Structure 1
C-alpha cells in the first residue's frame, strides 16, 4: 500500500515558492524529502530510560530492562523504525514512597526522545494494578484527593514534553479487580464511586493541569462492557480524545477479519483509535484456555525460527489492516526486545542478544520504505508553483540554496506559500 492506495493517509499541497522579496521563483528545481509521519508508529521506551540518564547500573523497570551494554545499539534500532515513545508511570514504581516520585529520571528520558524528534506518551495516570501499597488502607476521601494530586503533578511536571496520556487504564475491571488478599486503593475507590465517576476524576484532573494534552481511555476488555462504559462516559459529558485498544496477541494473531470487526465497533464513537499495546509472538503460543495472560508463567519461553517467520508475516498483515482503517491514528508495539519482555514472552522484534528478528526487518521496510516517500525532484511552473504529494507528515523543501519546512496535514488538496528568505 503506497500513498496512492492509502488515500486517507496521504494528501497533496500546491506550493507557491517565493523569493525573499515575495516574487515567484519560476522554473526552479525543487527537492522534497519526507522527514516524519503524522501517523504514530510507537513502541515502549522503557529500555532506553537508563541510556537517557547515562546510568551504568540502571534501576529495574517494569516490562523492559535491556542491559546497558546493548542499550546504544537498541536505541539505534528503536529510532530507525518508531516515532512515538510510551514511558512508564506505574504509580507503585514511580512513587515507591509518598512524596518521592521518579520525576527527574522520567523527564530526562522524555526529553531524550523529544530531542530526537519523537512524540512521547505517558502510561498510565490511573490504574489499579501497580497502585502504591502505601495508599492501600487510606480513607476513600484521602485516596481521591491523593489521586487528583498525583495526576495533576505528573501532567504539570511533564507539560511540553509528554503530549499524550492514558488517563485511565482498564476501568472495566477496576472496581471488581481481585488478585490480592486486600483490595488496592484504586479498586476500593472505583468500587465506591463507580466507573464513570472514576473516569471523570482522571480526565478532569489531567485536563485541568494541561488543557492541551491528548487523553485516552484504555482497556484490554474489548467486549460490549467497554463499549457500554464509553457510551456512559460520553453521555456524562466527559471529553475523551481517543480510545485505546489493547491487542496482546499472546494466544495467536487475531487475523484481519476480527481486527476489522473490533475497529469498526469502536470507530462508531467517532473518536480516533489508538492500538495502545500490541504484541505478536515469535515462539510457542500461550494456550487458548488461559483467561488472564498474567496467569501463564513458564521458566523459559524461547523464540523459534518457525515462530519468527510467523511473527514477520503477521506483523505485516496486522499493520496493513490498521493503516487501512481510517479511524486508527496510532499503534504502539509493546516491546522492542525479548530481554525483559512482559511475562517473558518472545514478543520483541529484536532477540535478547540484540539481533533483529525478521519481524523487525519487515516492519522497518513497511514504515521506512513502502510507507515513506522517496526524495523527489520537481520543478516550479511560471507562477512559482509546484505540487507536492505524499503521506501525511512533515517534509523539507530545498530550492535555490534555501531549506524550508512543509507539512501535509490532511487528505485532499491544500494550498500554501513558502518564502525562501535571502533568495532572489
Structure 2
C-alpha cells in the first residue's frame, strides 16, 4: 500500500483548508444557525474537493460522521495494516470546527475486504474480527461520542422475528458474532456509546413491519444476554412515496427507550425517485415525511441526535445510484445542490431547538 502523509490529507488542498476553518472564526450569524444534536455524514474527498461542504457542515451541524473512512475496506487494506489517515483527517476537521464525531461502522455484512475471505478457518476469522474491533476502538478511545458497532443485521423481508441476516461473520462465528462485537468494543473503550443500526422500519408496509419486529427481537435478545448496548440507530433512508407509520414507530421507540436505550437517527435522507411534480412540490413532501418521522420518535422524548447521510443534494449517494424517470436529480437532503436550505432544514431546526 502506498502510504499517504496525514498532513497531505489535511492541508493538501485549498478545499481542505477551507473545510478546516475554525468554528470560532465563523460569523455569529452562521454560528446561530447550528442545530444542537444535528450532524451530517461526509467523505474526506468531498470535503477536500468543495469548500462549501465543510462550510455548510460547520454552519449547521454540531457533529459529523465519516461515510467510508472507518469501514473495513478503507481502514484495513490488508491483514497487517490499519490506515487511519483518512478518518484522522475528518476527526481533525471536526475538532477545528468544534464538532463531535461518531464512528461508522465496526461490523457490516456488505463491506468486507477480500483479504478476510482468504482466512483459513473460523479461529483465524475470529482473531481478525476481535483484533480489528479492539484496535480501532482503542485508537479512537475518548475521541468519538458513539459507534455503530453492528450495521444492518436484519434481512429484508425477515421470515420471523428471530431471523438474522446470513453473513460472512455468521458463517464463521455463529450467533455470537453480534455479542462478541459489542463486548470487544466495550472493553476497548468503556465510555463510548455503542449503537446498533438498521434501515427500512419506518413505514406500514408489511416488510417494514416485519423488519421492525425482528429488530426489536434482536435488541431485546442482546439486552437479555447482558450485551453492552446503549443506543438504537434508525437509519431512516425514507421513501418519499411511503407515509411514516407514526403510531407503530412511536410505540417501537417508546419501548426501546423504556429499556434504557437512547434512540439515534443515523442516516436520514429521503428518496424522491417516485414523486412527480416540481422541485418545490417534491421538497414539501420530503419535509413532511421527515416531520412525521421525527414527530413519532419525539412522542416519548426529544430526539437528541439526528444525522443526515450528507447535507447537500450535490453529494448524496442517491444521485449516483438512484435515477428518477424524468432524469432530474434526486432531492434527498436539507440543502440543495447549490447549498441553499430547503424545508427539510426547517424541520431539522424545529426538532433540535430544545435539545
TM over 0.5: yes
Alignment partner, residue 153 of structure 2: 171
Equivalent position to 2:294, from 313, 319, 323 = 319
Alignment partner, residue 260 of structure 1: 250
Shift of 1:105: 2.2
Please provide the CA RMSD for this pair. 3.2
Equivalent position to 2:74, from 93, 106, 121 = 93
Alignment partner, residue 273 of structure 2: 284
Query: Which aligned segments of 4 or more residues in structure 1 are displaced greater than 6 angstroms?
Result: 34-38
Alignment partner, residue 145 of structure 1: 127
- Whether the 8 Å contact between 2:142 and 2:191 is mirrored in structure 1 is no
Deviation digits for residues 349-370 of structure 1 (CA, Å, limit 9, x no counterpart): 222343333323x1465367xx
Equivalent position to 1:329, from 287, 291, 304 = 304
Shift of 1:147: 1.1
Shift of 1:126: 0.8
Which of 1 and 2 has higher RCO (CA within 8 Å, sep 6+)?
A: 1
Shift of 1:249: 0.8
Equivalent position to 1:211, from 173, 183, 190 = 190
Counterpart Cα distance in 1 of 2:337 and 2:263: 31
Counterpart Cα distance in 1 of 2:184 and 2:302: 27
Counterpart Cα distance in 2 of 1:240 and 1:37: 29
Equivalent position to 2:333, from 348, 364, 367 = 348
- Whether the 8 Å contact between 1:81 and 1:363 is mirrored in structure 2 is no
**TM-score, normalised by the number of residues in structure 1:** 0.62
Counterpart Cα distance in 2 of 1:302 and 1:124: 37
Does residue 41 of structure 1 match 2:35? no
Aligned residue pairs: how many? 295
Alignment partner, residue 154 of structure 1: 136
Shift of 1:240: 0.8
Structure whose residues are more often strand by fraction: 1
Q: Structure 1 171/364 Cα, relative in aligned 2: closer, same or farther at 3 Å?
A: closer
- Whether the 8 Å contact between 1:170 and 1:218 is mirrored in structure 2 is yes
Secondary structure of the residue that 1:114 maps to in structure 2? helix
Q: Structure 1 165/326 Cα, relative in aligned 2: closer, same or farther at 3 Å?
A: same
Shift of 1:169: 1.1
- Whether the 8 Å contact between 1:107 and 1:158 is mirrored in structure 2 is no
- Whether the 8 Å contact between 1:176 and 1:191 is mirrored in structure 2 is no
**What residue ranges of structure 2 are gaps of 5+ in the alignment?**
1-30, 157-162, 202-210, 323-329
Counterpart Cα distance in 2 of 1:112 and 1:98: 28
> 1:4-403 counterparts in 2 under 5 A?
40-46=37-43, 49=44, 58=45, 65=46, 68=49, 71-87=50-66, 88=68, 89-138=70-119, 139-173=121-155, 177=165, 187-195=167-175, 197-220=176-199, 222-250=211-239, 251-254=241-244, 256-281=246-271, 283-285=272-274, 304-326=279-301, 328-344=303-319, 345=322, 346=330, 347-360=332-345, 362-363=346-347, 365-366=349-350, 371=353, 391=354
Secondary structure of the residue that 2:304 maps to in structure 1? strand
**TM-score, normalised by the number of residues in structure 2:** 0.72
Shift of 1:131: 0.8
Secondary structure of the residue that 2:305 maps to in structure 1? strand
- Whether the 8 Å contact between 1:165 and 1:214 is mirrored in structure 2 is yes
Counterpart Cα distance in 1 of 2:190 and 2:127: 20
**What residue ranges of structure 1 are gaps of 5+ in the alignment?**
1-33, 50-57, 59-64, 179-186, 287-300, 372-390, 393-424
Computing the radius of gyration over CA atoms, which structure comes out larger, 1 or 2? 1
Shift of 1:161: 2.0
